[in-house]
Structure 1
Amino acid sequence: MSADSWAVAVDFQEATTPAKQFDFSKKLERVRGPRHMRGDINGNLVPERKENGGVRADGDKVDLAEQSLLNKLIRRSLVRNRNQVEVLQRDPTSPLYSVKTFEELRLKPELLKGVYNMGFNRPSRIQENALPMMLAQPPQNLIAQSQSGTGKTAAFSLAMLSHVNPENEWTQCLCIAPTYELALQIGQVIEQMGKFYPDVKLAYAIRGNRLGRGVKLQEQIVIGTPGTVLDWCTKYKLIDPKKITMFVLDEADVMIATQGHRDQSIRIHRQLTKNCQMLLFSATFEDSVWRFAEQVVPEPNIIRLKREEETLDTIKQFYVFCREKEDKFTALCNLYGSLTIAQAMIFCQTRKMASWLASSLTVEGHQVALLSGEMTVEQRASVIERFRNGKEKVLVTTNVCSRGIDVEQVSLVVNFDLPVDFDGNADNETYLHRIGRTGRFGRRGFAVNMVDSKHSMDVINQIEMHFNRRITKLDTTNLEEIEALIS
C-alpha cells in the first residue's frame, strides 16, 4: 500500500454492552465429551494429560489459543479501549464510510432484529468502520487488527449472514479459526444473530463431526479449524471451494503460531476464486502476521491500532531484598498491611510456588484466588470473574494471567518471582504485561519486585536498562519509608 494512502484516526472507545449471555459451556461440553477427556487443537478427544506426567513444565507458558479463548469468555461486554486506530483504504481517493446505527447498513429485518436481540444498541467503533467495507458492493477485502471484546466477531458474523443467498443450498461463506473452541465461539454468535433468519444454516467443520464422503453440504455458512476444513474441501469433497464467495480467517496471530495451521490456511485459500472476498482478523500485527496476510488477502483495506509508546508513567516500580521465600512472604504481608489496596495480583514462576503462596496468604486471613495452567479455560474464566467482582482481593497466578486481563481495581502488582527467559535473562515483554495489570485507565499503580539473589538483582538492572526507568529500593519493615515513597 502506498505511503500516501488516506489514514483516518478515530477514538477506539467502546460503549455498547451486549445484554445477552451465551451458554458456551454446554455447547463445548457436547463437542468435547466427558470431563476426563480433553480436545486437542483440532478437536480430537484425547485423555486429559496430568501435570505429573511430564507433559507440562512446572512454569505455565502462555498458550495463545487458550489466552484468546479466555479473553472471549471473560469479556462479556465490549471493552473500553482508548487506543487510536487508523483506516487505510485500498483506494485512497474513495470516501471513507462509517455508520453510527445499524439501520444505516440497510440490513435485512430478520438480521436487524437478531442484532438488537443480542443487546447491541449501536455499532462499536470497529464495527462503524469495518461493516461498511465488509458489506460494500462490489466486495472489498479487509485486514483488521482488533482485540477481544471490540465487537469484531459480531461484525464479520453479520457480514456473513448478510452475504449469503438462502435460496442457494450450498456453502457460500467459510470461516476458519485455530481451535475448535474458538470456532464454537464464532458459531455461537452466528446462531444468536441469525435467530430470526432460519433460512440460513450453519455447519461446524471440526474433528468428530463426521459426514458421508461426497455428500454436498447444504449449509450456507461453515465454521471450522483449518485441518478439517481442508479435508472437507479436498478429501471428502463436502464443500466446493469455487462456490465460496466470502472467506474469513480469524485469530491470524494464533493461527500462524500453531504448527501446520498456517500452511493449511494457505492451501485452503489457493482453492478459492480470485473474486472471493477475503477478511482477515488478528489481535497483533507482527511482521510474521503481515507476511501471512499479504499471501492471503490481495489489495486489502486495512484497519489497525496505531502503534503508541508503551507507557509506565502511572506505575511506580520498586524492589525488595529478600533471602528466601519466607522472607518474601513477610515482606509481602508488611507491604499489603501498609498500603490502601483495592486489589492485588501476585505473579509466581511456578505452580508449586503459586499454590504455596496462596495457601499461606489464606492462613493469614486474606481472600485469595489462585490461577494456574492446569485449570481449564472455563475454570480460569470463573476465577477471574470472581476477582473482577471483588469476591477475592488477591489473585495469585502464573503467567497464564499476564496478558490482556483488565481489572480496573488492581492497584498493586507483585512479582514474587521475576520473569526470566530460558537463558535466565530478564523477560522484558512478560514484565511489561505483568505490571501493566495495574495503572490501568490512567489510575496510579504500584509494582513491587522481590529480589532474592545477585542474579535477581542483575535481572532488575536489565529491566531498568531496557525501559530506561529506575526501580527504587524499598524497605518493607520501615512504614514511614513506604508511606513516603508511595505518596
Structure 2
Amino acid sequence: VGSAETSLLNKLIRTSLVESSHHVEILQQDPSSPLFSVKTFEELTLKKELLQGIYIMGFNRPSKIQETALPIMLAYPPQNLIAQSQSGTGKTAAFVLAMLSRVNAAEKYPQCPCLAPPYELALQIGRVIETIGRFCADIKVTYAVRGNRVLQGAALEEQIVIGTPGTMLDWCFKRRVIDVKKINMFVLDEADIMIDTQGLSYQSIRIQRALPKGCQMLLFSATFKETVRAFAVQIISNPIVIKLREEELTLSNIRQYFFVCRSREEKYRALCNVYGSITIGQAMIFCQVER
C-alpha cells in the first residue's frame, strides 16, 4: 500500500486531530504577496456563525497546517494554493472554512465545487461542512455522487457541491446543472489518489479548463511526488505551495499487522485467526472487489 492510500485510509478512520510537529515550508510564486500565520481563529475575522461551528468541531486553536493555510485561503484578492497535508492535521476543516467564507449565501446556485476521489470521502467532507456550517442557515450543500440523480438542466440551489470527479463532470457538461462560469472556488482533495486512479485526473482537468479566470483553486495531497507536482502545475497558475517534511503518522491506539498469504483460503484463515486471538471492539475490512 502506497503512502497516498495509507493517508486516505487513516483519514476515513480518524475522528480527531493528530498533534503534529511538522515543519511547514512555504514556496511562493509571487514574492509581492504578503504571508502571515495565525494562532487563534479570531485573528481571521471569520463570521461568528463559522466560529461557532469550528468550536463545535472541537478546534480550540488552529492546527499547524491551519495556522499557515487559512490566511492564504481567506486572503483578498484570492490566492491559489497547493498544500501537502496528511490525514488528521485539520486540512479538511481549513478548506471547509474557506468555502463557507467565499460563497454568497444570497445567491442560490453552485459556487464552490469540491472534488474528492472516493465516494466515502466526499460524504465525509460533506459532514464536516454540515457541522461547521450548521449556523449558516442560508448556505446549503449537495452531493455529486453515484445514486444522487438530478434532472438535466435542473436548477440547483445549493452553493457548495461535493462529489467524485466523474459525477461532477457529468453534472457540469451533460446534465448542465452546474454553470462552471459562476464558480468562484474550486477544491481538489487527495490529488495523489486522483492521479493514481485511471481517468480521475483527466476528468478534473476537463472541469478546471472551463472555470472562469478569477476562480480560486485549492489543491491538497498527502504526498508530493513528481506526478503530483506535474498535475498541480498543469491546472493551477501562480500558486503558493505549502510543503511538509515527510513523516509517518499513525494513531497510538491502532495496532498494525502484516501477513504474507499464498492463497485466498490462507487470507481467510489469517483474518479468522486475528479475530479469534485479539479483542476487537470495532473493525473495518476493505476488499478489492464487491464479491
Common topology (TM > 0.5): yes
Which amino acid letter does the alignment assign opposite residue 297 of structure 1?
A: I
Paired residue secondary structure (2:284) = helix
Alignment of 1:269-280 (within 5 A): 269-280=208-219
| Residue 296 of structure 1, CA deviation | 1.2
Q: 1:281 maps to what in 2?
A: 220
In the alignment, does 2:238 pair up with 1:299? yes
Give yes or no for contact 1:246–1:276 (8 Å, CA) kept in 2: yes
| Residue 216 of structure 1, CA deviation | 2.0
Structure 2 distance, partners of 1:273, 1:362, is 53
Structure 1 distance, partners of 2:266, 2:224, is 34
- Residue from 147, 150, 154 that aligns with 1:215: 154
| Residue 161 of structure 1, CA deviation | 0.2
CA 1:64/1:191 → structure 2, altered by over 3 Å: closer, same or farther? farther
Q: 2:119 maps to what in 1?
A: 180
Q: 1:91 maps to what in 2?
A: 30
In the alignment, does 2:128 pair up with 1:189? yes
- Where do 5+ consecutive residues of structure 1 fail to align? 1-61, 311-341, 370-376, 382-397, 399-487
Q: 1:264 maps to what in 2?
A: 203
Q: TM-score, normalised by structure 1?
A: 0.54
Give yes or no for contact 1:70–1:380 (8 Å, CA) kept in 2: no
Structure 1 distance, partners of 2:5, 2:87, is 13
CA 1:163/1:367 → structure 2, altered by over 3 Å: closer, same or farther? same
- Where do 5+ consecutive residues of structure 2 fail to align? none
Moved more, 72-81 or 294-303: 72-81
Root-mean-square deviation (CA, aligned residues, Å) is 2.8
CA 1:344/1:149 → structure 2, altered by over 3 Å: closer, same or farther? closer
Q: 1:379 maps to what in 2?
A: 284
Give yes or no for contact 2:3–2:223 (8 Å, CA) kept in 1: no
| Residue 173 of structure 1, CA deviation | 0.6
Paired residue secondary structure (1:126) = helix
Q: 1:127 maps to what in 2?
A: 66
Q: 1:429 maps to what in 2?
A: none
Which amino acid letter does the alignment assign opposite residue 115 of structure 1?
A: I
| Residue 359 of structure 1, CA deviation | 5.9
Q: 1:247 maps to what in 2?
A: 186
- Residue from 106, 109, 117 that aligns with 1:167: 106
Structure 1 distance, partners of 2:42, 2:266, is 54
Q: 1:104 maps to what in 2?
A: 43
In the alignment, does 2:110 pair up with 1:199? no
Moved more, 85-94 or 172-181: 85-94
Identity of aligned residues (%): 61
| Residue 72 of structure 1, CA deviation | 1.9
Give yes or no for contact 2:187–2:218 (8 Å, CA) kept in 1: yes
| Residue 171 of structure 1, CA deviation | 0.9
Deviations 1:13-49 (A, max 9, x none): xxxxxxxxxxxxxxxxxxxxxxxxxxxxxxxxxxxxx
Q: 2:278 maps to what in 1?
A: 367
Structure 2 distance, partners of 1:214, 1:359, is 51
Deviations 1:215-250 (A, max 9, x none): 121111111111111111111110100000000000
Paired residue secondary structure (1:304) = strand
Max radius of gyration: which structure?
Answer: 1
Structure 1 distance, partners of 2:254, 2:125, is 33
Paired residue secondary structure (1:149) = coil
Alignment of 1:146-157 (within 5 A): 146-157=85-96
Moved more, 116-125 or 347-356: 347-356
